[in-house]
């Protein structure tokens, strides 16, 4: 029975893997720029974040406007910054979502460029046609950067909810002579709509994921349903340039070498400062005990309590240092974790140092006074307990910070060193997302303003002027041809007459 169950489980796993890793699925995506993964996300995993996402989208969504000023959608940028559960879901590079994105991109070297939520209320109109990469200015960062976008429905929905629709094949960078000719005469938008097939997401179930290339022209229909259409989108960036994209396709955890430095500094800070406090408390109290023991040797063991309490402070540092060291992973250690572990180490170490100073001073004076007046013993112990509590407070906070830092900040797009190299080209520092969505942009967005619809598909003036000239030349030639044809027909009529 056990062997039968195992064989069945293996068969189901193999079947599932074959469905997800179907080569034709990836080929269709590369050909059209769009695909749907059915039941890619486990229901239990998605349910854990779905409720949080819907709440966050309702609370933080900002109105995105179209050209005519009408509200198209409520837009929430960087949802992972608002909730730890969502952050863990987004940055899980071992999950089915990330692995499918890697297969569609054709590389394992992915990073998270951004995530955002879209809420379309009942009655909201169509969303304008746009390209995600062009809308956020990604080509300006590096021409070799590409993106794969995952759109996750938070409820089952059909076309009536205003799902995304796509012009298939518009993600291509090269076109044939016929399409180029049409574009030179009437523009690319006319060419795309004339030569491309339109598809719209339909019958999306809970757990499905709709994928599209960042260069695919797409929009969303109007919401004609009676319910809100909530969706969550994650953008994965990668590089097709063999020389690299200045590191922007790398993850923070793999590219920022200072992360490990800060982590080990946290280990050192926790142990060294805690031992300093323990050493001072032991030495200072020991001096008092030795001095008191000359006159009252019978009270030495009773007065040893300050030394014991000071020694415990060193154990606080030891525990914290071991925990931080155990959470340091060379392959996946983010800057966020490095800073958090440094903060945790300093919190425990400095708190223990302060407690050691207090215990040493109180212990020295307390044991001397207790030798002369035994009734001071209880008071001395209470003072020592409250001094020890200072180190305990630091231990609690340090352990909480060190334990919750794991996984946060993992997988985000590049890092700090590369942005410093590009200061002459791009004004700003931080991750690739920080360069594209600066602090001012985020602040305006959080305050209710919106820049999402500002970046429409635009065409340089030189292309517009060239197309005008070509259109004029073709129009003139066509006019001359029609005129010559009419004159020829009239000439034949005159001869017949």
Q: What is the pLDDT of residue 129?
A: 85
Q: What is the pLDDT of residue 58?
A: 80
What top-level class would CATH report for the domain 18-251?
Answer: mainly beta
Q: What is the pLDDT of residue 321?
A: 93
Where exactly does CATH 2.60.120.620 map onto the chain? 18-251
CATH architecture of 258-404: Up-down Bundle (1.20)
Q: What is the pLDDT of residue 408?
A: 58
**Average pLDDT over all residues of the chain:** 79
Where exactly does CATH 1.20.120.610 map onto the chain? 258-404
DSSP state letter for 412 = B
Q: What is the pLDDT of residue 244?
A: 67
CA distances from 355 to 257, 282, 358, 456 (A): 34, 12, 5, 60
Low-confidence stretches of the chain (pLDDT < 50) are 1-20, 252-255, 414-431, 450-457
pTM for this model (two decimals)? 0.59
Q: For the chain, how are helix, strand and coil distributed in percent, rounded to 5?
A: 60, 15, 25
Burial 30-57 (b: 16+ CB within 10 A, else e): eebbbbbbeebbeeeebeebbebbbebb
Query: pLDDT digits over 162-177, tens only?
Result: 999 999 998 887 788 7
State the Cα–Cα distance between residues 153 and 417, nearest whole angstrom: 36
């Amino acid at each position: 029975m056990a062997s039968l169950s195992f064989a069945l489980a293996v068969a189901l796993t193999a079947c599932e893997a074959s469905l997800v890793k179907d080569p034709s699925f990836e080929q269709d995506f590369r050909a059209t720029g769009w695909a749907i993964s059915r039941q890619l996300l486990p229901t239990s995993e998605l349910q854990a974040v779905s409720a949080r996402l819907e709440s966050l989208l309702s609370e933080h969504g900002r109105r995105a406007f179209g050209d005519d000023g009408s509200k198209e959608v409520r837009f929430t940028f960087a949802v992972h910054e608002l909730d730890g559960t969502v952050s863990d879901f987004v940055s899980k590079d071992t999950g089915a979502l990330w692995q499918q994105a890697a297969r569609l991109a054709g590389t394992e070297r992915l990073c998270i460029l951004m995530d955002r939520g879209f809420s379309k209320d009942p009655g909201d109109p169509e969303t304008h046609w746009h390209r995600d990469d062009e809308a956020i200015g990604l080509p300006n960062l590096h021409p070799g950067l590409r993106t794969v976008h995952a759109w996750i429905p938070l409820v089952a929905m059909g076309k009536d909810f205003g799902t995304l629709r796509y012009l298939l094949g518009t993600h291509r960078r090269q076109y044939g002579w016929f399409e180029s000719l049409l574009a030179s005469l009437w523009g690319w938008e006319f060419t795309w709509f004339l030569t491309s097939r339109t598809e719209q997401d339909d019958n999306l179930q809970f757990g499905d994921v709709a994928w599209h290339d960042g260069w695919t022209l797409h929009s969303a229909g109007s919401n004609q349903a009676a319910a809100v259409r909530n969706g969550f989108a994650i953008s994965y960036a990668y590089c097709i340039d063999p020389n690299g994209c200045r590191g922007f396709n790398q993850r923070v955890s793999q590219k920022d070498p200072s992360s490990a430095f800060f982590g080990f500094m946290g280990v050192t800070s926790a142990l060294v400062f805690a031992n300093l406090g323990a050493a001072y408390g032991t030495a200072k109290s020991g001096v008092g005990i030795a001095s008191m023991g000359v006159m009252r040797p019978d009270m030495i063991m009773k007065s040893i309590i300050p030394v014991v309490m000071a020694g415990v402070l060193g154990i606080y540092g030891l525990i914290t240092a071991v925990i931080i060291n155990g959470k340091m992973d060379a392959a996946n250690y983010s800057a966020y974790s490095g800073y958090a572990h440094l903060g945790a180490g300093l919190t425990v170490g400095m708190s223990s140092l302060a407690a050691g100073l207090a215990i040493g001073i109180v212990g020295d004076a307390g044991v001397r006074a207790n030798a002369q007046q035994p009734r001071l013993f209880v008071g001395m112990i209470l003072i020592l307990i409250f001094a020890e509590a200072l180190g305990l407070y630091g231990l609690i906070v340090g352990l909480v910070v060190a334990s919750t830092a794991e996984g946060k900040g993992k997988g985000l797009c590049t890092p700090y060193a590369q942005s410093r190299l590009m200061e002459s080209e791009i004004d700003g520092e931080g991750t690739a997302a920080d360069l594209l969505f600066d602090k001012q942009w985020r602040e305006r967005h959080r305050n209710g303003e919106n820049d999402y619809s500002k970046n429409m598909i635009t065409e340089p003036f030189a292309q517009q002027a060239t197309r005008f000239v070509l259109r004029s030349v073709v129009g003139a030639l066509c006019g001359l041809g029609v005129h010559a044809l009419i004159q020829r027909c009239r000439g034949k009529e005159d001869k017949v007459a």
